[in-house]
Amino acid sequence: MSQRKRLIVDMDGVLADVYQQFFKYEKEQFQLTINPDDCAGVPEEQVFPHLSEYIHNDSFFLDAPLMEGSKEVFEKLNKQYDLYIVSAAMEFPNSLRQKLAWLQNHFPFIKWQQIVFCGSKEVIKGDIMIDDHFKNLDYFDGKTYLFAQPHSIHKDAGRHERVQSWSEIAQALLA
Amino acid sequence: MSQRKRLIVDMDGVLADVYQQFFKYEKEQFQLTINPDDCAGVPEEQVFPHLSEYIHNDSFFLDAPLMEGSKEVFEKLNKQYDLYIVSAAMEFPNSLRQKLAWLQNHFPFIKWQQIVFCGSKEVIKGDIMIDDHFKNLDYFDGKTYLFAQPHSIHKDAGRHERVQSWSEIAQALLA
């Protein structure tokens, strides 16, 4: 049995910068420029009017850019923690293969044993969770970090510790 | 919060009769008839010599027959328990979409929120787990049922309770 702490990391909005994808798809496919200020405190489905039209396609998740500063920190975390990537992917069947390929592209050191695609994260156990959604963090028994994303910017983090960036994650979790 | 107990059910070897698929593929694609007696106590990879050649294809998991007696019992369990299907699917990327479609075909009452595809089941928490592999049951904190399949037939079930069929599951778990 590993003595390392089990760290659960979310994909969308934590490792993958999905907001950049939303901006890009609204602009390129619908000639709609969304102002970043309009995202503050508003659920993604409300601020991006065509989201349901492109989120099911074959490249939305595959082409998503890495969250700034995530790559190096994530590789170091993988050496210090029993690391799992847990993504609520089941709502979007087309995303499953894309997300697997995305992880292999960006983090070739991650093994398939470390990947979980689920509908609800209520069944996940671990010591530490990093996620941008309260609906995931609220059910978790361990220490929880709320990764700052526009949709939750005005909310009280409650028992969760808010982190603004991957450098803040590094400060909090890397020895 | 639900007061119902959370029940975690495996797919391959519990809901899906993968041994029937192994027999069929060995025979149809390689003209090899495997004797069911040869499966007793032997890992699948050892008894089915061409397994690695067809398990990655586009239909192995999609066409798998239902385990005998599973359908009605499973539907009843879904009404009495907080039911999740957890499958170690990540080793076979081609299986992800197949397994999702298989579940939709056979159990249309199952919601995407109830499905988990993982590499390792070490991260799964719940009250009861039904699985045919020790590697999954051994890490689980709750009550564990070992679903009898040829590969584990000679092994001591240890702390796990052995069930031979879906009617035995019904006896154990349905009110």
Query: Is the minimum CB–CB distance between A20 and chain B shorter than 8 Å?
Result: no
pTM score above 0.90 = yes
Q: Which of B112, B124, B127, B136 to mutate to test the interface with A (most CBs of A within 10 A)?
A: B112
What is the pLDDT at residue A2? 57
Chains A–B, number of C-beta pairs less than 8 Å apart: 75
Do B21 and B58 meet the contact criterion of CB atoms below 8 Å apart? no
Q: CA B20: distance to chain centroid?
A: 13
Give the three-state DSSP class for A3: coil
Give the three-state DSSP class for B137: helix
∠ CA B123-B52-B21, nearest 5°, is 85
Q: Please tell me the distance from the alpha carbon of residue A85 to that of residue A11, in angstroms, as a whole number.
A: 7
B47-105 pLDDT per residue, tens: 999 999 999 999 999 999 999 999 999 999 999 999 999 999 999 999 999 999 999 99
Do A9 and A85 meet the contact criterion of CB atoms below 8 Å apart? yes
- Please choose, from the candidates A148, A117, A116, the residue with its C-alpha nearest in 3D space to the C-alpha of residue A133: A148
Partner-chain contact A8 B123, CB within 8 Å? yes
Q: Which of A122, A124, A128 to mutate to test the interface with B (most CBs of B within 10 A)?
A: A122
Catalytic residues of A: 10, 12
Do B93 and B111 meet the contact criterion of CB atoms below 8 Å apart? no
Query: Is the minimum CB–CB distance between A6 and chain B shorter than 8 Å?
Result: yes
What is the pLDDT at residue B125? 97
- Cβ atoms within 10 A of the Cβ of A34, count? 16
* Nearest residue in B to A138, CA atom: B1
What is the pLDDT at residue A154? 85
Q: Please tell me the distance from the alpha carbon of residue B90 to that of residue B71, in angstroms, as a whole number.
A: 25
Partner-chain contact B116 A111, CB within 8 Å? no
Q: Please tell me the distance from the alpha carbon of residue A52 to that of residue A14, in angstroms, as a whole number.
A: 21
Partner-chain contact B90 A84, CB within 8 Å? no
The ipTM value here is 0.94
What is the pLDDT at residue B133? 96
Question: How far does B8 lie from chain A, in Å, by closest CA?
Answer: 9
What is the pLDDT at residue B2? 58
Tokens 């991006």 belong to A48
Q: Identity (one letter) of the amino acid at A36?
A: P
Residues of chain B neighbouring A124 (CB-CB closer than 8 A): 123-125
What is the pLDDT at residue B154? 85
What is the pLDDT at residue B82? 98
Residue ranges of chain A with per-residue pLDDT less than 50: none
Query: Is the minimum CB–CB distance between B56 and chain A shorter than 8 Å?
Result: no
Question: How far does A2 lie from chain B, in Å, by closest CA?
Answer: 12
What is the pLDDT at residue B175? 82
Question: How far does B34 lie from chain A, in Å, by closest CA?
Answer: 30
B13-61 pLDDT per residue, tens: 999 999 999 999 999 999 999 999 999 999 999 999 999 999 999 999 9
Do B149 and B26 meet the contact criterion of CB atoms below 8 Å apart? no
Do A12 and A135 meet the contact criterion of CB atoms below 8 Å apart? no
What is the pLDDT at residue B3? 85
B136-162 pLDDT per residue, tens: 999 999 999 999 999 998 889 999 999
